Amino acid sequence: MQLRNIFTSPNYYAVCESDRSENWVIFVVVGGIAMYEVIVELTADEVSTFNRDGHLDDLARQIAKNADAFAPRTLKPIDSKDKITFVTHLSPT
């Protein structure tokens, strides 16, 4: 999975474009001792909030507290070889 960074927050998340979604996504680092990432497709309202406020801190906190609530919008690896790669330009699919 390729992600192109749009915005990086010091609060352990980034807003990105993805080669696996028409929508922007939020990449959130969650967990305590065992850290892992959750990638959630953004809704039109969430993109509007980002464009208005310049951040999605509240959404990132909600995802970090209860990632399971966002499962229907979460992008999962296709298989064990599917790795997340940050790129400057998305490759055409």
pLDDT digits (tens, 9 = 90+) for 25-71: 999 999 888 899 999 999 999 999 999 999 999 999 999 999 999 99
Identify the pLDDT of residue 93: 58
* Domain range annotation of the chain: 2-87
Identify the pLDDT of residue 34: 87
Identify the pLDDT of residue 90: 81
Q: How are strands ordered across the β-sheet holding 85-87?
A: 35-41, 25-31, 13-18, 2-9, 85-87
Identify the pLDDT of residue 27: 97
Identify the pLDDT of residue 78: 87
Identify the pLDDT of residue 77: 85
